[in-house]
Copies of this chain bind each other. A is one copy, B any other.
Amino acid sequence: MTTMREVAERAEVSVATVSRVINNVGYVSPDLKDRVMQAMRALQYQPSALARSLRRQETRTIGVLIPQIDQPFFAALAYAVEKKLFDNDYRMLLCSAQEDHDKEMAYAEILVRQRVDGLIVVPTGRSSELFDLFDQRDVPMVLVDRDIAEAKASRVLVNNFQGGYTGMAHLLELGHRHIRIIGAPAYSRALQQRSDGAHKALHDYGVNGDGELLVAGTLQPYEMGYNTALELLHQTPRPTAIFALTDVIAVGVMHAAAKLGLRLPHDLSVVGFDDIPLAGFMIPSLTTVAQPIYEMGAHAARLLLEHIAEPETAEHETVQFETRLMVRDSSVRLHEDKR
């Protein structure tokens, strides 16, 4: 690999001069500048980010720690972050913990060793040791989507309560009264808040007693939706609508309905939550409460970069995004257009 010394020798200048033209800083005569440029081109010189980072004490690299890369929601987040970082000449070191807390911690350690300038994280575990690691070394953090109370960090969250309310209110407006909620709130504060919002809506519309949610704790989301819906749809009277606290759960519900020969949305309305890309592709397309994931990722990156730019003035900031109801084809007015 060709080094700055070699460029300097070829251009017959000192390394300091080469450095100056590379970084376009300080005085350097047009003549020398030219010679240096030429030498760089001839030698195909590319400066070492390693050496530069070591000397400058900054890497212009941000650690992005997410639970699972092969999950559309996080992939979209990563994309949004990546874009923002790239435009600001930062690199992204993407780490996928696969929902494994040990791996998450392992990656956290790697990230501090790599001396990342900041961290964007969707925490997997509940523990806060991860945050100590970065906090002690003054590397700024921002939490996205999932909150950890103890963390000293900025936050980009979504108003899950309001989202839960909106989703349920939509079904109630359509005339549904026999509605079931499917989700496992015990395992996630976010799901708990969605559930709470949904119940508030039921209460506000004067519907009660009927909306207990079915928890199927240990299952994976898809199976939870499928199995629970299968059970639910055999009951009499059959619910006319189901609010799934997650799109993936909703997809499970849709498959269960198909299995039973029910036709959506006429025989059953379904509403999901998240607006993963899959939601729009389902047949019928899934009505869902959308998280503005792209905006959230971009905002997280912005917050972090601001914090890095002025470490002293910046305070930790919490921003909560509002959800948006995406009305599509899986939900329909009760009794209308029934074949």
Which A residues lie at the B interface, using CB under 8 A? 1, 44, 46-51, 53-54, 59, 68-72, 75-76, 78-79, 82-83, 86, 91-94, 96, 98, 103, 109-110, 112-115, 136-137, 251, 254-255, 258, 277-278, 281-284
Q: CB within 8 A of A113: which of B48, B83, B86, B136?
A: B48
* Extra pairs beyond A69-B79, A82-B96, A278-B278 (17, CB < 8 Å): A46-B109, A48-B54, A50-B53, A69-B69, A69-B75, A69-B78, A70-B78, A70-B277, A72-B72, A78-B94, A78-B96, A83-B98, A86-B103, A91-B93, A91-B110, A278-B281, A282-B283
Can you report 14 A-B residue pairs in the complex whose CB atoms are below 8 A from each other?
Answer: A46-B112, A50-B50, A50-B54, A54-B54, A68-B79, A70-B78, A71-B75, A72-B72, A91-B110, A91-B114, A251-B281, A254-B283, A255-B283, A278-B281
- Cα(A40)–Cα(B114), bound, Å: 18
* A53 / chain B contacts, CB cutoff of 8 Å: 50
Nearest 7 A-B pairs (CB), nearest first? A70-B79, A94-B94, A49-B113, A70-B75, A75-B75, A50-B54, A49-B114
Complex contacts, A71 vs chain B, CB 8 Å: 75
Chain B residues with CB under 8 Å of A47's CB are 113
Q: Nearest B residue to A78 by beta-carbon distance?
A: B69
Q: How far is the CA of A78 from the CA of B132 in the complex (A)?
A: 29
Given contacts A94-B94, A251-B281, A281-B278, contact A82 B69 (CB under 8 A): yes
Q: Are B86 and A50 in contact (CB under 8 A)?
A: no
Taking each of A50, A277, A284, which has the highest tally of chain B beta carbons within 10 Å of its own beta carbon?
A50
Residues of B within 8 A of A277 (CB): 70
Inter-chain contact A1/B115, CB cutoff 8 Å: yes
- CA distance in complex: A119, B283 (Å): 39
Collect the chain B residues with CB atoms within 8 Å of residue A93's CB. Answer: 91, 93
How far is B51's CA from A124's CA once the two chains are assembled, in angstroms? 30
Q: Contacts A70-B75, A283-B283 hold; do A48 and B115 have CB atoms under 8 A apart?
A: yes
Complex CA–CA separation, A69 to B136 (angstroms): 32
Most buried by B among A47, A68, A69: A69
Cβ of B282 and Cβ of A50 under 8 Å apart?
A: no
A113 touches B70 (CB 8 A): no
Cα distance, A83 to B78, chains bound together (Å): 17
Whether A136 contacts B44 by the Cβ 8 Å rule is yes
Chain B residue numbers with a CB within 8 Å of A68 are 79
Of all chain B residues, the one with the shortest Cβ separation from A53 is B50
For A258, the chain B residues whose CB sits under 8 A away are 283-284
- A54 touches which of B51, B69, B82 (Cβ 8 Å): B51
* Contact of B283 with A50 in the complex, beta carbons under 8 Å: no
How distant is A267 from chain B, measured CB to nearest CB, in Å?
14
Q: In whole Å, how far is A220's beta carbon from the nearest beta carbon of chain B?
A: 13
Using CB atoms, name the residue of chain B closest to A103.
B86
Chain B residues with CB under 8 Å of A72's CB are 70, 72, 75
